[in-house]
Amino acid sequence: MAMHLHNIGEQYRDGSFTWVADDAMLYAVAVGAGATDAGLPFTTENSIDVELHTLPLFAVILSARVGGPSLTRAGDFPMSSVLHVGTTVRLSEELPCAGAGYGVRSIQSISDTGKHAVVAMDTALHDADTDAVLATVTTTTLIRGEGGFGGEAPARAPEQPHERPHGTLHYATRPDQALLYRLTGDRNPLHSDPTLAAKVGFDRPILHGLATLGIAAAQLQLHRDQTRPVREVTAEFSSPVVAGDALRTEYWITPDATHFKVWVEDRVVVKNAAISYA
């Protein structure tokens, strides 16, 4: 197997996509924004005196619609060795509730842990009419067993504060949370097929990491009633979640961001996470 370091920085226009308000609202419901009236601006389009908005992480749904075998440009390796370990979304402004766009993908970096390779892939979401970049989604992937090629070590993520958190939020995921989230477009059967889940070592299908992150980010946005525009959401995934698990989100407030960490019982499942504001 070989990693294709020569492809770092090359840009590829991979596909066009469209979305409507129903897509944005379905995503908001799938990450729990409909649990209280505070979520009405994201889950309804006809509530009195309520304007429809999109959640920042709706960008990951649009990124998935770009399509294309982009990760294969990073190297020759079996897809069974791939593990999604992190996501960053950078927004130029709040995403429109409906529109059309196209994606431009590029490999940001290919790093070497010694044992594994780490690939960071950017997907820039462009408006179809103006060509403006609406958002950029960076997906970080661990390629198991493909390290040792002499590349640079991955950059270390800034650690979260060690002091006592400023607050804690709780969310009990639904037993059908993964089935609901998959309707947003992520149809990976690992999250729905018990037989496949068992083949890769899980007792039952696991919840999408992006669903766990989406729930925590939506909770924080609704709980804190933020009026400042979100410019970036970033996180690393460290342990699987099963639909029905209870999530505990601890957060720390700084002038420009809310840092957070998500737990299931005594396990950290999302770490080095932050929502940054304009």
Using CA atoms of 105, 108, 114, 115 in order, give the dihedral in degrees to the nearest 10.
-20
Is 191 among the catalytic positions? Answer: yes
Q: Which of 116, 126, 191, 259 is catalytic?
A: 191
Nearest in space to 214 (alpha carbons), one of 83, 34, 18, 45: 34
Q: With contact defined as beta carbons under 8 Å apart, do 76 and 1 qualify? A: yes
Torsion sign across C-alpha atoms 79, 82, 84, 86 = negative
**Which two structure tokens, joined as six digits, stand for 177?**
């949370």
What is the Cα–Cα distance from 95 to 59, expressed in whole angstroms? 8
Nearest in space to 272 (alpha carbons), one of 83, 264, 262: 262
Q: Which of 186, 208, 245, 259 is catalytic?
A: 186
**Which two structure tokens, joined as six digits, stand for 252?**
């720390």
Is 53 among the catalytic positions? Answer: no
- Point out the residues that are catalytic: 186, 191
